[in-house]
Structure 1
Amino acid sequence: MKTIPTLFDWAGGQEALEKLTRVFYERVADDELIGPVFAHMSPEHSRHVAHFIGEVFGGPTLYTQADGGSHASMVAHHIGKNLTEPQRKRWMQLLLDSADAIGLADDPEFRSALVGYLEWGSRLAVLNSAETENPISNHEPMPRWGWGETKGPYQP
């Protein structure tokens, strides 16, 4: 029986995710549509996002342990931002373009899982951004994302 790696490991680990978010936020800074949404983020923001994604993808618990975050705290960052569908789509486009630019794993199974998570998370962000109070309890567990229907990476 073949061992199925976590999405975190298949992506290239923390270094790959930090590179992804760093390149992404460099692109965001100059973007007319979503640049203003992120204009006042701290310099550590991209690293915190990489930690969050890494934890969701089965990596170390850096977001909850090192950054002091939780699923509820990530949701809280979106409350009241009133994000739009065009902004969400642009976020997706820039993030996937950044994944291509850094050479993130591009096999169909991994990209299906990555896009599935990004679609799910970005759509929740839009919904939560219209809220005035956080709908997620501090006791809610971090989401965990896996390979989904593909049951792991393609291995001939």
Structure 2
Amino acid sequence: MAANHHAKIPTLYEWAGGMPVFVTLFDNFYDKVLADGILEPVFKHMSAAHRLHVAHFVAEVLGGPKVYSESEGSHFLMIKKHLKKHLTETHRKRWMELLLETADELALPPDPEFRSAFLAYLEWGTRIAVINSNTDEVTEDPDVPMPRWGWGVPGGPFQG
């Protein structure tokens, strides 16, 4: 009887297409942000490296290499960046809308499994950013680990 071999389930990062996809996604996204009436005032002073840091952060959370945590920052430092920014639900929804629009334009995987996991992370992360942006200090431990986001309930890519 043949052994039952389970194919290794790719990370969300791998399924999306790797680092070039995330770098392009956030590059194109922040171009939209800077042209947007709601978000431009919040982001107009961001550093030139901001979009790359966000690409590395999200890629790492979704199972990619530890570029962000090993050379650019930590989850604690990411939280600190949002303090006193006073983001609103309007900002959050617009940020989500533009990022999902950019993901569609760049043809990130459209399968329901990937998109539900990707959207779930963005919902979680942006809601935490809004909460943190309306506080003056971080209550988290400085060693709080980076989030690690997987496939969630569907458990893996679409098997259509």
TM-score normalised over the length of structure 2:
0.95
Displacement of 1:134 in angstroms is 1.2
Residue 117 of structure 1, aligned match among 118, 121, 124:
121
Task: Name segments (4+ residues, structure 1) moved above 2 Å.
Answer: none
Q: Which residue of the other structure, out of 127, 137, 141, is the alignment partner of 1:137? A: 141
The amino acid across from 1:29 in the alignment is L
Matched, 1:16 2:13: no
**Which of 30, 39, 51 is residue 25 of structure 1 equivalent to?**
30
Contact 1:92-1:118 at 8 Å conserved across structures: yes
Cα drift, residue 136 of structure 1? 2.0
Q: Which amino acid aligns with 1:46?
A: R
Per the alignment, in what secondary structure is the counterpart of residue 123 of structure 1? helix
Aligned residues: 155
Larger-Rg structure: 2
Corresponding residue of 1:84: 88
- The share of aligned pairs that are identical, in percent, is 52
Q: Deviations over 1:45-76 (max 9, x none)?
A: 11100100011011100001121x00011111
Question: For residue 3 of structure 2, what is the aligned residue in structure 1?
Answer: none
Q: Which amino acid counterpart does residue 106 of structure 1 have in structure 2? A: P
Alpha-carbon distance, 1:135 to partner? 2.2
- Gaps spanning 5+ residues in structure 2: where? 1-5
1:39 aligns with 2:44: yes
2:82 match: secondary structure: coil
Paired letter, 1:20? L
> Which range moves more in the overlay, 99-108 or 115-124?
99-108
Structure 1: segments with no counterpart, 5+ residues: none
1:145 positional shift: 0.1
